[in-house]
Amino acid sequence: MRIKIINPNTTQSMTDKIGACARAVARPGTEIVAVSPAMGPVSIESHYDEALAVPGLLQEIAKGEREEGIDAYVIACFGDPGLKAARELARGPVIGIAEAAMHLASMIGTRFSVVTTLARTIGQAEHLAEAYGMDRFCARVRACELPVLELEEPGSQARERIAAECRRALDEDGSDVIVLGCAGMADLCEHLSHLLGVPVIDGVAAATQLAESLVTLGLRTSKRGELARPVPKPYTGALAGFALGDNSGHAPHEEIR
Amino acid sequence: MRIKIINPNTTQSMTDKIGACARAVARPGTEIVAVSPAMGPVSIESHYDEALAVPGLLQEIAKGEREEGIDAYVIACFGDPGLKAARELARGPVIGIAEAAMHLASMIGTRFSVVTTLARTIGQAEHLAEAYGMDRFCARVRACELPVLELEEPGSQARERIAAECRRALDEDGSDVIVLGCAGMADLCEHLSHLLGVPVIDGVAAATQLAESLVTLGLRTSKRGELARPVPKPYTGALAGFALGDNSGHAPHEEIR
Amino acid sequence: MRIKIINPNTTQSMTDKIGACARAVARPGTEIVAVSPAMGPVSIESHYDEALAVPGLLQEIAKGEREEGIDAYVIACFGDPGLKAARELARGPVIGIAEAAMHLASMIGTRFSVVTTLARTIGQAEHLAEAYGMDRFCARVRACELPVLELEEPGSQARERIAAECRRALDEDGSDVIVLGCAGMADLCEHLSHLLGVPVIDGVAAATQLAESLVTLGLRTSKRGELARPVPKPYTGALAGFALGDNSGHAPHEEIR
Amino acid sequence: MRIKIINPNTTQSMTDKIGACARAVARPGTEIVAVSPAMGPVSIESHYDEALAVPGLLQEIAKGEREEGIDAYVIACFGDPGLKAARELARGPVIGIAEAAMHLASMIGTRFSVVTTLARTIGQAEHLAEAYGMDRFCARVRACELPVLELEEPGSQARERIAAECRRALDEDGSDVIVLGCAGMADLCEHLSHLLGVPVIDGVAAATQLAESLVTLGLRTSKRGELARPVPKPYTGALAGFALGDNSGHAPHEEIR
Amino acid sequence: MRIKIINPNTTQSMTDKIGACARAVARPGTEIVAVSPAMGPVSIESHYDEALAVPGLLQEIAKGEREEGIDAYVIACFGDPGLKAARELARGPVIGIAEAAMHLASMIGTRFSVVTTLARTIGQAEHLAEAYGMDRFCARVRACELPVLELEEPGSQARERIAAECRRALDEDGSDVIVLGCAGMADLCEHLSHLLGVPVIDGVAAATQLAESLVTLGLRTSKRGELARPVPKPYTGALAGFALGDNSGHAPHEEIR
Amino acid sequence: MRIKIINPNTTQSMTDKIGACARAVARPGTEIVAVSPAMGPVSIESHYDEALAVPGLLQEIAKGEREEGIDAYVIACFGDPGLKAARELARGPVIGIAEAAMHLASMIGTRFSVVTTLARTIGQAEHLAEAYGMDRFCARVRACELPVLELEEPGSQARERIAAECRRALDEDGSDVIVLGCAGMADLCEHLSHLLGVPVIDGVAAATQLAESLVTLGLRTSKRGELARPVPKPYTGALAGFALGDNSGHAPHEEIR
């Protein structure tokens, strides 16, 4: 099967890391396609960044549907931007990494803490926990005040700061599982798990597994109701290319681009 | 004061109607600026449409901050798209019409029903009711299966179908207030209120009043925490123009465009 | 329009202050009538005080309906005593100051803290936050252990203690908005806002604005269902005068007094 | 022990019935004192009635504390008016009949329906269910549209209409327990229980038992925090007599009257 | 009446203590039958212990129904193990001690803290608080890290450690009532109540009173729906004796053993 | 890897079917071990049955840990009996089929309906939905009034009745996904999915996939806190063999049997 992992920011080094982490857990025979959108912010650290990451993300979903034969998608940003819009476009499943990590955390422990980057993104993580029904398992969302792109800098103290915040989570929150709150932390998961002695969950790997599972089970996004393919209509201005065609069958000439 | 009402879809006739409804309730001395974005869908009837209405909306907010001296904003689509991102950009208040209508409904009755256009948008209205804490007052969200742009067509049966759904709401939901679930219904509010004998709330008028109230009270969006101005950073591709400058003081040469 | 602000305690100096704060934000052409009831406690600091403030409050609502031509009412005590009973009596809107302040707080920030007088009133403020659906925005209700009437004493340290508690709220609660938890603090709002650098909301001003907004929008208390005018019936003993007449049309000779 | 049952309305025939129902379940050695207040409405069917039943109720609590040697109180109206204020005054426990009935219902079944008098009181019953944490057990609150005082009229169809509504509750709500939603229905409990074949709970009897249980266990209202005795202060006008004295020890000369 | 108190662990000294505490509050004429099951763990400190305490507990319920003429049951372990299964078997009421203590706590205060034994049991207490609707009153569940059987050792510091944790609860949680979180603490209730000056609730005594109250009121477990007697069917292996007979009338020869 | 699927009832034909359904979706290289316990009920249709299915289930978990080298477990009954106790015993993950099905349903749709066997089990399914945070996605739990073992009878109308109830769910509940509410329905999943045109989820297959995913990710049950291995202690009577040894390292001679 083909799983497309979309890093909604445009930083290629992060996309490469995310792709590698997904491949490391994917089943034999699964092809991982990891991409960044053609447009948007270099990192996602605000509602503004998140909103503007969505058009490029949706382009990649549309392209996946139109010409890449994708079976399932992973949205690899912990804010899970554009998840419902992506589900409307896609026939197969679409999984967010916050969604995947939180759900799995609830199955191997009783309370998890999320450790994320900037404090201003805590609200969005809390919002997602509620939207997924995972707030009852989420003891606390914690921030290291670490800008996302510092995770990409070799000499930064990112790893140490994240480890220190994880320890505080275990000491103060009564948590038994840690969820990493940024796709850019995917490569730290194994290290932190050994260091802390509790399960540490990276959403990229978690979502990859869930996407594969859903494809194996033959479960696709329900097209009955809210997640049905959007009604075609004109789009104007710089977004005119986002108009969907009238072919509910997703024919090859569909004009999404 | 200057209030900017942004209809996030690009249908000018609807924008004109919305502007007229806002002006009809605005205080003497308030200038209403009603606009559609330069890009995006002609109507908003899916998560996909909603996500793609946001870039144009944010352009209008940025323009309002940069060069129009706007005191407060109204987002005139019942899905309240981009509300938090808009609040990050704006110094003054930003009010969504679903937000405004639901809050006021909770103050003049005990249970309200929302009557909206297509059934597939019910989920978003329910989500907003929860996000605003208004789900405890919202008896039900109902749809007429009426496409948004039929509201703009003179000969359509839109008015009758909406009235019939409102009557069902009163009969079946135990509601004592009706909330109109689309900015395009703004001009039906008075008619329906007389017809039904209960308060009927149009979010455009409601949000206009709330925006004026907040400006009068000197209350602006809090810049401490989640709604602080986004961190400036590069944007790439077709969205490169959305990069914010480094001037936290919102100087006139800020490069949002 | 005429807005009647009822301070449900009988301390006239507080009523005067409340009236002044309301007038300071009211629109040109709005007449503010600020009163204390003819009977009841000098301050409201317990459920007992609150319950016994209600008869005098309802007398003032009835008088407003019968002979004063009032368009809307504000209940100017942060416990919002008698709100639903008042809504049953009134044709126009009735707004509580806790209600008004909390709703507006949710529109300009993401989390608010309430700073109130005595700790024993925290439970009531928390109850109201839940009843209004605002508990999801209310980070914490805090008390200064300041008796209400000390707010009226020129030499007291009230202002300093409130400011100190507000600072603790910002430091410890992760809040971005402060709500003042007593009508007697109305005059401190501007001072605290400048001092703290975040929005500070006084419920008296907030409720005045909301009342005006509802009147402008033509929105009155729904008389369909729970808030319909009470069924007339005999009252006995010292409360015999509270019996409502049988005139659902609120005729001038109605015997509420 | 002495249990005082206060029917907060002033209809003596209902008070007599309530007293008889309480005595029928009280333990040997328990004295039941059943009273109506000296002032207030003849029946409670609105928020207005409820608010104005409270002063007379509080007088009876104060008298019980001052001179009657009461061990516990029951508030015998399904709206549980003035419950928290009464708890502030009383040293012993105070139990509301809605509170008692709902709690016991949750222990002998999985879902209960409340059958009450007028539809306009449904909101208050739902509010109490939530305030007591019993909303998760409350399938539905149903009304017969039966004025309270018709329960006192020999020839009325009250019994039949209540039985019919109970049957609808069992058929439509999936309930396994019925809660009678008015103190005036206390005498119908046994009849309905036999008729319906499910447990039917009368709050008067339930509260009497709970009051006795708490007294036997030596459990009194906690005076640490919100339910501490109110701070003494002046009361004015017709309510001047409600001022509490400064004797936190509840001495015999306390001036409540 | 006959009340059977089942201590679901097999430590007889604890059963004796529990029986004595129940008898100390039971009404004249009530016979208390206090037993331990014939099989199971010596103490209950994990989900594993709890699950394996249930078969022995259900045997005792079945025996009570078959041959002992029991009117009501108390499950005397703070995890309330097997409560719903026991209710299916029993005709009369079955009350858990956590259930009883939490419900009564909500009637005499506004917030309670639970003080229990091992921290690993906190989750179960929190789960029960939610299941009973008492989470809104439960400020916090606290553990002393005291193994259950240390409560039975004369020279242990159990009493002091519990008292210290209760004091922390009052200081830090804003609670006004303490709930003892283990049946083995039943004998400490009076001592702690005097020491702390707030109501302290032992679930054994509380549940005994509630069981007596329900019997007095003629209220039995509803057999309509979820708590109906289980459908008879074969059981295999070591549990073959748990098969229920086909006599829905609970005839004397029923083969539960 | 080795996944052990435990059907907690003792009906071997159902265990065989469950094993086949798990094998049909398992990855190459995964060994599925499907068993029934040595003791317990032939079907699980009440809280009583469920409680008594747990000892046999825990024996199988203990055996899996002691001598079978199991990597993860699936509990194949829709009541997810003994889930937390099993997690205490197991080092690897343990997944319930209701848990698995509900979580996956939330990722491919917006609202699901559960279609189960007997109406008396609806309460348990609703309880699980809440415990997993999935109640916000669960539109309704529906029963066909079909005894579990009729699913094993070739000539029964089970398939038709289930299909009819699924259709009602889609028509009346606004659901877009169906969850099958019994392990015995596992073989109907594909048929129903084709028939209904919406995703239909069988928990056995879903849990098998999730178990494999967690093992692949190296995620095991957290042993920090509530799910740590139970404290060893004596067990008495017929359950003496369930006493756990003192070897926290799970040595081969551990005496669970």
Residues B16-44: pLDDT tens digits?
A: 999 999 999 999 999 999 999 999 999 99
A83 and A13 co-located in one domain: yes
pLDDT digits (tens, 9 = 90+) for C183-230: 999 999 999 999 999 999 999 999 999 999 999 999 999 999 999 999
Look at residue C126 and tell me whether its pLDDT is greater than 50: yes
Average pLDDT estimate for C55-61: 98
Tell me, yes or no, whether B131 and B55 share the same domain: no
F77 & F136 share domain: no
Answer whether residue B161 shows pLDDT above 80: yes
Write down the pTM of the prediction. Answer: 0.96
Distance, CA of E88 to CA of E70 (rounded, Å): 15
Q: Does C have 3 or more CB contacts under 8 Å with F?
A: no
**Is the confidence at residue A82, as pLDDT, over 60?**
yes
Neighbour subunits, B (≥3 Cβ pairs < 8 A): A, C
* DSSP letters spanning E189-230: HHHHHHHHSS-EE-HHHHHHHHHHHHHHTT-----SSTTSPP
Say what the pLDDT of residue C154 is. 82
Residues F109 and F143 in one domain: yes
Question: Which positions 190-249 of D are in contact with C (Cβ < 8 Å)?
Answer: 225-226, 228, 230-231, 233-240, 242-244
Do B87 and B115 lie in a common domain? no
- Out of C39, C46, C118, closest to residue D239 by CB: C39
| Cβ-contact F48, E89 below 8 angstroms | yes
pLDDT recorded at residue A246: 58
pLDDT given for residue B246 in this prediction: 58
* Min distance C93 CA to chain B CA atoms (Å): 6
- For residue A53, is pLDDT > 70? yes
Closest chain C residue to the Cα of B202, Cα to Cα:
C217
- Measure CB to CB from residue F25 to each of A95, A170, A216 and give the nearest one: A216
- Tell me the chain F residues in contact with residue A186 when contact means C-beta distances shorter than 8 Å: none
Nearest to F224 among A107, A136, A198 (CB): A198
Do B and E touch, 3+ Cβ pairs within 8 Å? The answer is no
Rounded CA separation A203/A22 (Å) = 10
Cβ contacts of E147 on chain F, cutoff 8 Å: 231
User: CA A110: distance to chain centroid?
Assistant: 23
| F104 lies in the same domain as F198 | yes
Q: Scanning every residue of chain A, which has its alpha carbon at the shortest distance from the alpha carbon of B50?
A: A85
- Residue C112: the pLDDT is 98
Tell which of D154, D184, D203 closes a domain.
Answer: D203
**Is residue B145 in a domain?**
yes
Q: How many CB pairs (< 8 A) connect C and D?
A: 156
Q: Note the pLDDT tens digit of each residue in A100-126.
A: 999 999 999 999 999 999 999 999 999
**Cα A210–A213–A217 angle (5° rounding)?**
140
Q: For strand E138-143 and strand E112-116, is the pairing parallel, antiparallel, or unpaired?
A: parallel
Tell me whether residue B255 is in a domain: no
List, in sequence order, every residue forming a beta bridge with F6; answer none if it has no partner.
F35, F75
Q: Which of B103, B216, B219 sits opposite C108 (nearest CB)?
A: B219
Q: Are residues F107 and F172 in the same domain?
A: yes
> Residue F217: its chain A contacts at CB < 8 A?
25, 104, 201, 205-206, 209
Hey, are the CB atoms on C236 and D147 less than 8 Å from each other?
no
Chain D closest-CA separation from residue E135 CA (Å): 8
- Is residue E106 domain-shared with residue E197, that is, in the same domain? yes
Whether residue F255 lies inside any domain: the answer is: no
How confident is the model over C95-114, as a mean pLDDT? Answer: 98
- pLDDT, chain E, mean: 94
> Among B83, B210, B217, B226, which would you mutate to test the C interface (most chain C Cβ atoms within 10 Å of its Cβ)?
B217
User: Are D55 and C50 inside 8 Å of each other by CB?
Assistant: no
* Contacts D–E by Cβ distance under 8 A: 133
Interchain CB contact of A55 with B (< 8 Å): yes
- The verdict on A75 touching B (C-beta cutoff 8 Å) is no
pLDDT on residue E105 = 98
Strands F72-75 and F112-116: unpaired
Would residue A254 count as lying in a domain? no
> Which segments of chain D have a pLDDT < 50?
247-257
Interface check for C104 against chain B (CB to CB < 8 A): the answer is yes
* Domain shared by F93 and F213, yes or no: yes
pLDDT, tens digit, 9 for 90 and up, residues E78-95 = 999 999 999 999 999 999
Model confidence at C7: pLDDT above 90 = yes
- Please give the C-alpha separations between residue A78 and each of A96, A208, F134, in angstroms, as whole numbers: 7, 14, 21
pLDDT of F74-104, one tens digit each? 999 999 999 999 999 999 999 999 999 999 9
CA of B143, closest CA in chain A: separation in Å? 12
Chain D residues with beta carbon closer than 8 angstroms to that of C43: 233
In chain C, the residue whose alpha carbon lies closest to the alpha carbon of D90 is C48
What is the reported pLDDT for C243?
97
Q: Of the candidates A203, A224, A252, which is a domain's last residue?
A: A203
CA distance F101 to F179: 6
Tell me whether residue B48 is in a domain.
yes
Query: Secondary structure of chain F: what % helix, strand, coil (to 5)?
Result: 50, 15, 35
Instruction: Nearest by CB to B214, from C108, C132, C134: name it.
Output: C108
Which residues of chain A neighbour B58 with C-beta distances below 8 Å?
A: 48, 51-52
| Residue C247 domain-assigned (yes or no) | no
E37 touches chain F (CB under 8 A): yes
Whether B133 sits inside 8 A of C106 (CB atoms) is: yes
B41/A226 touch (CB, cutoff 8 Å), yes or no = no
Asked if the Cβ–Cβ distance from D234 to C41 is below 8 Å, we say yes
Does B198 reside within a domain? yes
Whether residue A153 sits in one domain with residue A134: yes
Each residue's pLDDT expressed in tens, for chain F with a length of 257 residues: 999 999 999 999 999 999 999 999 999 999 999 999 999 999 999 999 999 999 999 999 999 999 999 999 999 999 999 999 999 999 999 999 999 999 999 999 999 999 999 999 999 999 999 999 999 999 999 999 999 999 988 888 999 999 999 999 999 999 999 999 999 999 999 999 999 999 999 999 999 999 999 999 999 999 999 999 999 999 999 999 999 975 444 433 333 33
Which residues in chain C touch residue D231, judged by CB atoms under 8 angstroms apart? 45-46, 118, 147
Contact D226 C123 (CB under 8 A): yes
What is the C-alpha separation between D61 and D75, in angstroms, rounded? 10
Nearest CA in chain A to F86: A108
Cβ proximity of F229 and F254 under 8 Å: no
> Is D138 at the interface with chain E, CB within 8 A?
no
The distance of E192 to chain D (nearest Cα, Å) reads 13
> Cβ D222–E108 below 8 Å, yes or no?
yes
Instruction: Provide the pLDDT confidence category of residue E193 given band limits of 50, 70 and 90.
Output: very high
Question: What pLDDT does A152 receive?
Answer: 86
Cα gap B93→B219, rounded to integer Å: 7
Residue D254 domain flag = no
F120 interfacial to chain E (CB closer than 8 Å): yes
Q: Are B89 and B115 in the same domain?
A: no
CB contact under 8 A, B222 and C199: yes
**Is the Cβ pair C213, B214 closer than 8 Å?**
no
Mean pLDDT, residues B182-199 taken together: 95
| Chain-chain contact of C231 with D40 (C-beta, under 8 angstroms) | no
- State mean pLDDT over E212-229: 97
Could you give the percent of chain A with pLDDT greater than 70? 95
Interchain contact, A55 vs B52, CB within 8 Å: yes
Letter for the amino acid at E98? A
- Listing DSSP states for C133-175 in one string gives T-TTTEEEEEE----GGGGG-TTSSHHHHHHHHHHHHHHHH--
- Partners of F138 on chain A (C-beta within 8 Å) are none
Quote the minimal CA–CA distance from F196 to chain A in Å.
Answer: 11
Residue F246 has what pLDDT? 58
Q: Say whether C104 and B212 touch across the interface (CB within 8 A).
A: no
Domain of E168, in residue numbers:
98-202
Taking CA–CA distances from B123, the nearest residue in chain A reads: A226
Domain tally for chain B?
2
A-facing residues of F in 175-194 (CB < 8 A) are: 176-177, 190, 193
Sign, CA torsion D65/D69/D70/D71:
positive
For residues F81 and F130, membership in a common domain is answered with: no
Give the model's confidence band at C246: pLDDT under 50 very low, under 70 low, under 90 confident, else very high. low
Closest-CA distance of chain E to residue D153, Å? 26
Which of C185, C202, C219 terminates a domain? The answer is C202
CATH of residue C82:
3.40.50.12500
